Amino acid sequence: MAPETPDRLADRASARERLLAAADELFYEEGVHIVGIDRVIERAGVAKATLYSAFGSKDELIRAYLQRRHERRQERITRGLERYDNPRDRLLGVFDVLSELAAESGFRGCAFHNASAESAPGGGVEEVSDATRAWTRSLFVDLARDVGARDPKALAAQLVVLYDGATVGSRMDRNPGVPTVARAAAEIVIDAALR
């Protein structure tokens, strides 16, 4: 067996990235179980063996797709909140970031919700979805604590429900303005929590 040269390692990384990009596009547009691996490898322009070499299985490709979505979501929200100067604005800013996302062409709701709806309990989809849900709850708890809520966990739970509803409502109603409505409701909930 020939040793791994830098060029071969780069080619494998490039093929892995092309597979992830194709999976991201197809899985998000159509669903993780509807899209077969043949369509992913065709879109990525790689051989079937490359998919199995890079990921081992379609389930692992789905897990990697969701993990990448999770990481990008964290980055998008974290970067979006950097523009706010005070804790209240940061807490409400989560809805502003969602509003920007919902206004993007091709918005199809939450990738984790979509994949979870198609998948049986247990496995990679549930694992990554649970991780992103935990991160979202933790973010809201931290922001609620920063704003001075008496019960940050209770406020966070209420805001997560508004956030989830805004995500689903934007998709189902094909209305990117739903997060703005949720933001207005969040202001009322925050004010009540601070009294």
Residue 101 belongs to domain with CATH number? 1.10.357.10
Residues 105 and 51 in one domain: no
62 within a domain of the structure (yes/no): no
Distances (CA, A) of 104 to 11, 20, 98, 99: 32, 21, 10, 9
Other Cβ atoms within 10 Å of 34 Cβ, number: 11
Same domain for 43 and 114, yes or no, is no
Q: Residue-wise pLDDT tens for the chain (195 aa)?
A: 445 554 444 455 599 999 999 999 999 999 999 999 999 999 999 999 999 999 999 999 999 999 999 999 999 999 999 999 999 999 999 999 999 999 999 999 999 999 999 998 998 999 999 999 999 999 999 999 999 999 999 999 999 999 999 999 999 999 999 999 999 999 999 999 998
Distance CA 160, CA 137 (A): 7
pTM of this structure:
0.90
Model confidence pLDDT, tens digit, residues 17-48: 999 999 999 999 999 999 999 999 999 999 99
Q: What is the DSSP letter of 149?
A: -
Domain assignment present for residue 61? The answer is no
Q: How many domains does the chain have?
A: 2
Q: What share of the chain is helix, strand, coil (3-state, %, to 5)?
A: 80, 0, 20
Does 51 share its domain with 97? no
